[in-house]
Amino acid sequence: MPPIAAWRRLLAEFLGTASLVTAVVGSGIMATTLSPDDVGLQLLENSVATAFALGALILTFGPISGAHFNPVVSAADWFLGRRTRTGLTPAELGGYIAAQTAGAIAGSVLANLMFDLAPATFSSKDRSAAHLWLGEVVATAGLLMLIFALVRSGRAAVAPAAVGAYIGAAYWFTSSTSFANPAVTIGRAFTDTFAGIAPAAVPGFVIAQITGLFVGCGLLLALYPSAGTTADEVVVEHDTARTA
């Protein structure tokens, strides 16, 4: 049977990223409503909802597109797999990034509408600081190492739980609360709520995430020199999906 059509993969990336941002933004809005005077509890509620949602979304869309939902994951998939001709092609990479970014913006708009807010309002939450950028480098590099190490070691089946757990934990151990995703960062600029980021702070976060991409890929090549041979399986095994 033929491989999965490109439009289905792009639709999966759009819907998955949109759903992820809806979960991040929506749970942030709900957290501030339920716990208005406790920022720590708000972060706990936001991180738990995001972690569980991410795991579920990887299970839902992974068999179709690999459930990247993140330009740095897609870029690493292309970069690591380019020599062995596995993973995404340059054209597929461009499509994934466009679908993820559009999905992230749509996710913020949907969350805003669900909570009776203006569809899109630029965030006023400034997150411009060197220590936050460092947090994004750490969060992004760690995410990539986890994903590709799982695939290289034949444990891709546990990726939904492991990736969700990592992001949930990284909310707490990184100074930036672990955006670790350029598309999600852009999408979160369109909501002036708990999970928002001011548009002026977006470039700094994206540059830090790209830096994390290079750091993560460098560490992966040092620790798992043949990581690129399994790029086709990121994030969820594709052997059966590609013939569906």
* Per-position DSSP letters for 9-20, written without gaps between them: HHHHHHHHHHHH
- pLDDT score at 59: 95
User: In terms of Cα–Cα distance, which of 97, 218, 81, 210 is closest to 152?
Assistant: 81
pLDDT at 230: 65
Q: So what's the pLDDT on residue 210?
A: 98
pLDDT for 101 equals: 98
C-alpha–C-alpha distance, residues 29 and 32, integer Å: 5
- Report d(CA 128, CA 135) in Å as an integer: 12
What was the pLDDT predicted at 154?
Answer: 85
Closest CA to 117 of 187, 29, 53, 198: 29
Compute CA distances 104 → 22, 90, 94, 190, whole Å: 8, 21, 15, 9
Euclidean distance between CA atoms 150 and 145, whole angstroms: 8
Query: Which positions of the chain have pLDDT values less than 50?
Result: 1, 235-244
- Report the residue count for the chain: 244
226: alpha, beta or left? (left if phi > 0; alpha if psi -120 to 50): alpha
Which CATH topology does 6-243 take? Answer: Glycerol uptake facilitator protein (1.20.1080)
Task: Give the model's pLDDT for residue 26.
Answer: 98
> Per-domain residue ranges for the chain?
6-243
DSSP codes of every residue in 36-50: TT-HHHHHHHHHHHH
**pLDDT value of position 85:** 74
